[in-house]
């Protein structure tokens, strides 16, 4: 279904599952510009950042870029449930989305954009796709282990608000091991996803990426500044072109920002400026 320059459609991934995507073509196509693929975060961070992603995509579309935003299997409007999704399935779905974009538009050069875990998915995908020339990562999850600890803390808090008995972290982990999945924020998360999440360590994994990186973190350093600094340091050491900034005034992936109507307009502008400076 077409809306001016946006085309919404379900497409098939490699496992013949239906994924939802919105492809936006610029009014005046410019072959020198890469296409932008947005990788979404997960759980409540996906929910609260949705409109910000939509407007991010539209901002870059107006700047002349072809963009694609899509839902991986088990997320959003795509087929399946979260319990069936893994980190690897999200990476494969991103590769399939890129392929669908290539078939639909002929674009062969890509920039991946992601927020939080979406940034990690973008980074892992970039390592498996020769066409990815750059990564724009906003408050990226650099250490999956640390992110998992955040999830556990929030899950414990959530269960307290439901009046359930006080769970200890080790009880939740034991339940995950015993039952193969646990409920996090109203959705079942599988042991496979958690294990793959804990294996994420971008500081080491991103060493093979030869493209350019734009990294933006909260002005106060975010929840895991140490990991962010380590990643920037590691990329600089390897000679990767990195632009790293602490310029996000607030988290646009939390409930409060959504209900304040906050959209990170400055991030949109900074990302567009970084894209302009990339080698054509």
Partner 1 sequence: MSTEYPTWIDCPAGRMFAIVHEPDPQTDNGTAIVMPNAGQDSRTGPQRIYVKAARNFSAAGFRVVRLDLPGTGDAVADNPKIALDSHAAENVSAGVHWAIDRWQVDKLYIVALCAGARAAFRYAANDRVVDGVVAWSVPTLSDGGTPYLNAQGVKKAFSSGSLFTAAWWKNRRENGLREIRQVSTMLFERLKDALGLRRESLAIRCIDKYLKDGRPAQFLFGGLDKIICSDFAERFPEVQTARLERQGVWIIPDTVHALSTLPAHEAAIELSRSWIEHRIGVSPAASADERARMSGMSEDSASAA
**230-to-143, 157, 261 alpha-carbon distances in Å:** 10, 29, 33
Cβ burial of 5 (10 Å; 0-12, 13-18, 19+) is middle
Of 28, 166, 237, 261, the one binding partner 1 by CB under 8 A? 261
236 strand-pairing partners:
none
Q: Is 161 a residue that touches partner 1 (CB under 8 A)? A: yes
Q: Is 167 a residue that touches partner 1 (CB under 8 A)? A: no
Q: Is 99 a residue that touches partner 1 (CB under 8 A)? A: no
- Point out which span in 47-55, 99-107, 190-198, 213-221 binds partner 1 (CB under 8 A): 47-55
Q: Is 32 a residue that touches partner 1 (CB under 8 A)? A: no
Q: Is 77 a residue that touches partner 1 (CB under 8 A)? A: yes
**Closest among 190, 195, 248 to 49, alpha carbons compared:** 248
216 strand-pairing partners:
138, 245
Q: Min. distance of Cβ 116 from partner 1 in angstroms?
A: 17
- Segment 131-160, which members bind partner 1 (CB under 8 A)? 158
Which bin fits 234, alpha (ψ -120 to 50), beta or left (φ > 0)?
A: alpha
Measured from the CB atom, the residue of 130 and 161 that comes closer to partner 1 is 161
- Residue by residue, DSSP assigns 101-127 as HHHHH----EEEEEETHHHHHHHHHHT
* Binding residues for partner 1 (CB under 8 A): 1-4, 6-12, 18, 20, 22, 47, 50-51, 54, 76-77, 79-80, 158, 161-164, 183, 185-188, 258-261
């Amino acid at each position: 279904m077409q809306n001016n320059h946006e085309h919404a459609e379900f497409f098939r991934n490699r496992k013949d599952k239906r994924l939802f995507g919105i492809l936006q073509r610029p009014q005046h196509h410019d072959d020198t510009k890469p296409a932008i693929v947005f990788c979404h975060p997960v759980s409540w961070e996906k929910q609260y950042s949705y409109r910000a992603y939509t407007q991010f995509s539209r901002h870059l579309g107006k700047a002349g870029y072809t963009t694609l935003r899509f839902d991986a299997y088990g997320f959003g409007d795509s087929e399946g449930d979260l319990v069936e999704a893994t980190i690897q399935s999200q990476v494969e779905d991103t590769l399939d989305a890129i392929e669908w974009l290539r078939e639909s538009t002929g674009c062969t050069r890509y920039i991946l954009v992601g927020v939080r875990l979406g940034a990690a998915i973008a980074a892992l995908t970039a390592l498996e796709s020769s066409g990815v020339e750059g990564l724009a990562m906003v408050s990226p999850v650099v250490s999956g282990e640390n992110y998992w600890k955040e999830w556990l803390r929030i899950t414990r808090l959530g269960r307290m608000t439901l009046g359930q008995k006080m769970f200890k972290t080790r009880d939740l982990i034991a339940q995950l091991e015993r039952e193969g999945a646990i409920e996090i924020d109203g959705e079942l998360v599988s042991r496979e996803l958690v294990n793959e999440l804990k294996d994420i360590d971008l500081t080491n994994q991103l060493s093979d990426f030869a493209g350019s990186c734009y990294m933006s973190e909260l002005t106060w350093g975010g929840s895991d500044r140490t990991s962010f600094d380590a990643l920037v340091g590691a990329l600089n050491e390897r000679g990767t072109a990195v632009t790293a900034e602490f310029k996000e005034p607030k988290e646009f992936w939390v409930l409060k920002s959504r209900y304040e109507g906050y959209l990170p307009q400055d991030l949109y502008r900074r990302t567009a400026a970084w894209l302009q400076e990339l080698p054509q």
